[in-house]
């Protein structure tokens, strides 16, 4: 494999800043949705699509961009994705209506592919013994970017307006576009086979329809006439994809790789742990902002600050987790992360009486989550051939975000189903208002704990290995 002549740490710095930027943009939208909805006269369902459009398109195109990265070169696809993303961020800031904003956010979905492409570039850039550490640092940027985005987004929206969020993000994205063009090496293609677009269409459409079903479930129901065709067609397309792949000579994703024990463990664990990760973010934010006595009644900024300990934990812990993955292997690290994450979610159930308690719980759970993320990524990177690394990482990212998409749906359903009614007085008159009850939050955190326990069970099937030398993998 051709090594990069430029310092790998300069390349890592560029990749981490781009990842942090994209997650910052995605997170900054969340606290501003009510203002955006009001400004553009949108319904609740339309406003929800401002967030969902990014996820649907991103998950749908991820495997294709991964395969194209292997065939045409990773830097080329990285720059194409970042260019699409930057243009869409600029367009979003000038959107005249909610539908134009949703369309711009959909194009921003190409930014979804930047994180797994970055992971693949790291695999080509660093010696094997340092790959997990570098991947851990890049993975931590997901949480860091989300936390910064929630805090900074709330400030910018409050003082400059929601359009300014996108204008500022566009300026930053152009800086990173130029930096990436200069810093990244021209990684040669590692595969020369033609891309099978038929299988790409099957997988992409299936993913999009399943995500549409999950997104619309809180508004249209789980088993309604309008919803069931989305789910049935999506599942049918998935089945068609796997059947087609067994007969095609030009596969998008080699099914024999997906059958490898560690690749299968990484994908299943990624799906399940994705639910846990978003239960952490949504549970903390919703609970912190909910009015007393069922929440803490914090501001948007205060709620985002509650996640700061989890973010700090990921900054400090992720390189250590990467080092442990290299020296001890992914199996013990996955088991450790799953146990700590489970304990963290259970702490939320019994210990959330104030901001300090919430911050402590977030810290513990954050340590667990990052200890799951890093070995999953490393297992994919070291288990597949060089000509399949990028597409396999993109596929794993798609699977993890499918799991993540379940989190908002479950949280919204629980908060709608289990509500408390409280009186309040206004202008001498007594009114009633409803909010998510303590039972709803307990269930949210219990689901996070169950997802973490399920990840623990899955991790027991990992075939452990230790990266003792640059190119040697020793099985344990």
4-18, 108-122, 350-364, 404-418: range with highest mean pLDDT: 350-364
What is the pLDDT, as a whole number, of residue 80?
Answer: 92
Count CB-CB contacts under 10 A for residue 401.
Answer: 22
For the cut 60, the answer to whether the pLDDT of residue 430 exceeds it is no
What is the pLDDT, as a whole number, of residue 177?
Answer: 93
Computed over every residue of the chain, the mean pLDDT equals 81
For the cut 80, the answer to whether the pLDDT of residue 282 exceeds it is no
What is the pLDDT, as a whole number, of residue 1?
Answer: 41
pLDDT digit string, tens, across residues 99-131:
999 999 989 988 878 888 888 888 788 887 777
What is the pLDDT, as a whole number, of residue 337?
Answer: 94
Map the chain to HEC letters. Answer: CCCCCCCHHHHHHHHHHHHHHHHHHHHHHHHHHHHHHHHCCCCHHHHHHHHHHHHHHHHHHHHHHHHHHHHHCHHHHHHHHHHHHHHHHHHHHCCCCHHHHHHHHHHHHHHHHHHHHHHHHHHHHCCHHHHHHHHHHHHHHHHHHHHHHHHHHHHHHHHCCHHHHHHHHHHHHHHHHHHHHHHCCCCCCCCCCCCCHHHHHHHHHHHHHHHHHHHHHHHHCCCCCCCHHHHHHHHHHHHHHHHHHHHCCCCCCCHHHHCCHHHHHHHHHHHHHHHHHHHHHHHHHHHHHCCCCCCCCCCHHHHHHHCHHHHHHHHHHHHHHHHHHHHHCHHHHHHHHHHHHHHHHHHHHHCCCCHHHHHHHHHHHHHHHHHHHHHHHHHHHHHCCHHHHHHHHHHHHHHHHHHHHHHHHHHHHHHHHCEEEEEEEECCEEEEEEEECHHHHHHHHHHHHHHHHHHHHHHCCCCCEECCCCCCCEEC
For the cut 70, the answer to whether the pLDDT of residue 98 exceeds it is yes
pLDDT digit string, tens, across residues 301-354:
777 777 777 777 777 788 888 888 888 989 999 999 999 999 999 999 998 888
Round to whole Å and give the CA distance between 25 and 212: 22
68, 77 Cβ separation under 8 angstroms = yes
Beta-bridged to residue 425, according to DSSP, are 430
What is the average pLDDT across 141-166? 80
**Which pLDDT band holds residue 434 (cuts at 50, 70, 90)?**
low
For the cut 60, the answer to whether the pLDDT of residue 162 exceeds it is yes
Copy the structure tokens of residue 216. 């619309």
pLDDT digit string, tens, across residues 224-255:
888 889 889 989 998 998 888 777 766 666 77
Beta-bridged to residue 436, according to DSSP, are 419
More confident: 20 or 289? 20
- Among candidates 51, 167, 180, 149, which has minimal Cα distance to 109? 51
pLDDT digit string, tens, across residues 33-66:
767 877 888 876 677 778 778 877 887 787 777 7
For the cut 60, the answer to whether the pLDDT of residue 2 exceeds it is no
Our CA angle for 343, 348, 354, nearest 5°, is 135
**Which pLDDT band holds residue 469 (cuts at 50, 70, 90)?**
very low
What is the pLDDT, as a whole number, of residue 82?
Answer: 93
Round to whole Å and give the CA distance between 154 and 21: 16
CA 142 centroid distance within chain: 7
What is the pLDDT, as a whole number, of residue 471?
Answer: 46
For the cut 60, the answer to whether the pLDDT of residue 426 exceeds it is no
Count CB-CB contacts under 10 A for residue 335.
Answer: 18
What is the pLDDT, as a whole number, of residue 279?
Answer: 81
Count CB-CB contacts under 10 A for residue 474.
Answer: 11
pTM (2 d.p.): 0.75
pLDDT digit string, tens, across residues 361-377:
988 998 898 899 889 98
**Which pLDDT band holds residue 191 (cuts at 50, 70, 90)?**
low
What is the pLDDT, as a whole number, of residue 470?
Answer: 42
Angle between helices 308-328 and 128-159 (to 10 degrees): 170
284, 413 Cβ separation under 8 angstroms = no
62, 112 Cβ separation under 8 angstroms = yes
Q: Which long-range contacts (CB under 8 A, 24 or more apart) does 231-237 make?
A: 233/209, 234/205, 234/206, 234/207, 234/208, 234/209, 234/210, 235/206, 235/210, 236/206, 237/202, 237/203, 237/205, 237/206, 237/209
What is the average pLDDT across 432-436? 57
What percentage of the chain exceeds 90 in pLDDT?
21
């Amino acid at each position: 494999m051709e090594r990069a002549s430029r310092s790998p740490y300069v390349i890592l710095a560029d990749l981490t800043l781009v990842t942090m930027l994209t997650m910052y943009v995605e997170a900054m939208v969340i606290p501003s949705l009510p203002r955006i909805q009001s400004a553009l006269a949108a319904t609740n369902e339309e406003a929800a699509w401002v967030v969902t459009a990014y996820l649907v398109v991103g998950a749908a195109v991820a495997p294709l961009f991964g395969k194209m990265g292997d065939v045409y070169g990773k830097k080329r696809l990285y720059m194409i994705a970042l260019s699409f993303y930057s243009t869409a961020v600029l367009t979003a800031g000038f959107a005249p209506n909610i539908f134009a904003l949703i369309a711009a956010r959909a194009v921003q979905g190409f930014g979804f592919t930047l994180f797994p492409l970055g992971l693949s570039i790291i695999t080509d850039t660093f010696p094997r013994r340092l790959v997990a550490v570098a991947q851990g640092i890049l993975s931590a940027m997901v949480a860091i970017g989300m936390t910064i985005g929630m805090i900074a987004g709330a400030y910018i929206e409050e003082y400059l307006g929601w359009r300014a969020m996108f204008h500022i993000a566009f300026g930053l994205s152009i800086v990173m576009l130029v930096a990436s063009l200069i810093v990244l090496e021209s990684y040669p293609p590692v595969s020369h086979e033609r891309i099978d677009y038929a299988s790409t269409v099957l997988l992409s459409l299936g993913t999009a329809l399943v995500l549409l079903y999950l997104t619309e479930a809180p508004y249209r129901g789980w088993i309604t006439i309008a919803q069931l065709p989305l789910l049935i067609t999506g599942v049918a397309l998935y089945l068609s994809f796997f059947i087609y792949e067994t007969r095609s000579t030009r596969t998008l994703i080699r099914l024999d790789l997906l059958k490898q024990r560690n690749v299968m463990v990484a994908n299943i664990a990624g799906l399940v742990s994705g639910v846990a990760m978003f239960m952490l973010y949504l549970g903390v934010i919703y609970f912190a902002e909910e009015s007393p006595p069922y929440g803490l009644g914090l501001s948007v900024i205060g709620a985002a600050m509650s996640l700061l300990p989890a973010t700090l934990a990921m900054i400090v812990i992720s390189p250590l987790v990467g080092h442990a993955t290299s020296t001890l292997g992914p199996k013990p690290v996955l088991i450790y992360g799953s146990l700590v994450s489970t304990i963290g979610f259970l702490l939320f159930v019994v210990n959330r009486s104030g901001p300090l308690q919430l911050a402590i719980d977030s810290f513990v759970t954050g340590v667990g989550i990052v200890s799951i993320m890093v070995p999953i990524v490393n297992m994919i990177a070291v288990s597949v051939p060089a000509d399949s690394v990028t597409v396999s990482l993109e596929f794993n990212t798609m699977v993890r975000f499918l799991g993540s998409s379940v989190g908002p749906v479950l949280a919204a359903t629980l908060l709608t189903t289990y509500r408390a009614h409280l009186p309040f007085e206004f202008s001498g008159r007594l009114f009633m208002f409803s909010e998510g009850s303590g039972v709803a939050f307990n269930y949210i955190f219990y689901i996070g704990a169950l997802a973490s326990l399920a990840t623990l069970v899955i991790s027991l099937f990992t075939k452990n290995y230790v990266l003792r030398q640059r190119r040697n993998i020793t099985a344990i």
